[in-house]
Amino acid sequence: MILKPLNEEEFYKAFAIDLARAQALVLIQSPYLRLRRLQKLRGTLAACIRRRVRICVFVRSPEDDPDFELDFAPDFAPDLQPPSVDEIMEAARVLLALGAHVTFRPSKHEKVAVVDENILWDGSLNVMSQNQSSERMTRFWSREMVYQAIEMHRLDCCETCLKRRLPLETEAESEKDLFKTIGSAIENRRKSLKLTQAELARKMGVSQSVMSNIESGKRNAGMKYFLLACCELRLHLRVSPWYLAPSLSDWDLDIAKAEKQELLNQERELAEQELERASAPRTKSLLLLNSPPTKHDRKTNTIHNL
Ligand SMILES: [Zn+2]
């Protein structure tokens, strides 16, 4: 079968359909980033992330790279200017704010994109920066080619994913870590639902000591009780190929972080209300600490100068 390469317009239309159908993973190696292109892709990428599709973007690091500008413009379009370092960094911030992962690495000039396990795009187009140039991209439907591309371009080395992946030193270690991870996810979820250990144990029909063993990740608590606790707390355990789900808990980690921040905010608000109710002079001096220095303060060398 002969595959027809698509031009830039055809590619973005077809790629948008692939992104809309993506189920778990999108890997994009786009050596350059450009805000204008990102603006056009933003809605589709955000929709993927809302569906919990992981997006890892690999970008060529502009630092210490003498060929960074030279490699950008093809021979037939020498006037094309590469995006500035500031623009690339701003675009990376936009991607991170969307929830995508961004990895900078030296001199990677090949352009590829992978969607789930079967779709590989390969060609000349910088997916995240193409602007005026004429490019070609070919779509391959092949699990084997996807695996080859991941290996060849080291697309399994996303910095964020690697940080979140469970440390798998030995089989025994990995099993221990697995139960610990599930146990701490159960504990975090229980706390975020404001349930005590005893309350959850009662709901599950087990003793509190079993509940304590589960949250400590003790394997001898019994797998069925781990699953029961997950079920009771509406937690999903997913089993996927490793590169589709490098961490059992990345989603839960994000939720836990957001919930922890929310709790901290609530605690801070309560503390501030308590302080307001406290004595007036004390409140005044504390407020002074947080307000900008006044003329009077500067003159009298007050607490701001300490
Ligand atoms: Zn990643």
Does residue 133 surpass a pLDDT of 80? yes
Ligand 1: centre distance to CA 240 (Å)? 15
Mean pLDDT of 200-206: 94
Ligand 1: centre distance to CA 55 (Å)? 6
Burial of 61 (0-12, 13-18, 19+ CB in 10 A): middle
Give the relative orientation of helices 197-204 and 223-232 as an angle to the nearest 10 degrees.
110
Ligand 1: centre distance to CA 13 (Å)? 24
Does residue 96 surpass a pLDDT of 90? yes
Ligand 1: centre distance to CA 304 (Å)? 44
The phi and psi torsions of 303 (rounded to 5 degrees) equal -55, -25
Ligand 1: centre distance to CA 52 (Å)? 12
**pLDDT for the residue numbered 248:** 36
Does residue 88 surpass a pLDDT of 60? yes
Mean pLDDT of 60-88: 69
Ligand 1: centre distance to CA 195 (Å)? 33
Query: In angstroms, how far is the first alpha carbon of the chain from the final one?
Result: 77
pLDDT tens track for 150-167: 989 999 888 888 776 655
How confident is the prediction for the chain on average, in pLDDT?
A: 79
Ligand 1: centre distance to CA 196 (Å)? 34
Ion ligand 1: protein residues whose beta carbon lies under 5 Å: 56, 101, 158, 160-161
Ligand 1: centre distance to CA 160 (Å)? 5
Ligand 1: centre distance to CA 101 (Å)? 5
Ligand 1: centre distance to CA 45 (Å)? 14
3-state helix/strand/coil string of the chain: CCCCCECHHHHHHHHHHHHHHCCCEEEEECCCCCHHHHHHHHHHHHHHHHCCCEEEEEEECCCCCCCCCCCCCCCCCCCCCCCCHHHHHHHHHHHHHHCCEEEEECCCCCEEEEECCCEEEEECCCCCCCCCCCCCEEEEECHHHHHHHHHHCCCCCCHHHHHHCCCCCCHHHHHHHHHHHHHHHHHHHHHHCCCCHHHHHHHHCCCHHHHHHHHCCCHHHCHHHHHHHHHHCCCCCCCCCCCCCCCCCHHHHHHHHHHHHHHHHHHHHHHHHHHHHCCHHHHHHHHHHHCCCCHHHHHHCCHHHC
Ligand 1: centre distance to CA 292 (Å)? 42
Mean pLDDT of 126-133: 89
The phi and psi torsions of 9 (rounded to 5 degrees) equal -65, -50
The phi and psi torsions of 56 (rounded to 5 degrees) equal -115, 120
Ligand 1: centre distance to CA 158 (Å)? 5
Range in 37-41, 111-115, 130-134, 267-271 the model is least confident about: 267-271
Ligand 1: centre distance to CA 106 (Å)? 17
Mean pLDDT of 183-193: 91
Ligand 1: centre distance to CA 15 (Å)? 19
Ligand 1: centre distance to CA 100 (Å)? 7
Query: What is the CATH architecture of 165-248?
Result: Orthogonal Bundle (1.10)
Angle at 62 between CA 61 and CA 65, to 5 degrees: 100
Ligand 1: centre distance to CA 164 (Å)? 9
**pLDDT for the residue numbered 3:** 79
Ligand 1: centre distance to CA 159 (Å)? 7
Domain limits, the chain: 8-163, 165-248, 257-305
**pLDDT for the residue numbered 265:** 78
- Residue 168 corresponds to which tokens in the numbers above? 């798998």
Residue matched to tokens 């003329």: 295
**pLDDT for the residue numbered 222:** 86
pLDDT tens track for 222-256: 889 999 999 999 888 776 665 555 433 444 455 44
Percent of the chain with pLDDT over 90: 46
Rg of the chain in Å (alpha carbons): 26
- Say how far apart CA 22 and CA 14 lie, in whole Å: 12
Ligand 1: centre distance to CA 141 (Å)? 22
Whole-structure pTM value:
0.60
Q: Is the distance from CB of 82 to CB of 126 less than 8 angstroms? A: no
CATH of 8-163, picked from 3.40.640.10, 3.30.870.10, 3.40.50.2000, 3.40.50.300, is: 3.30.870.10
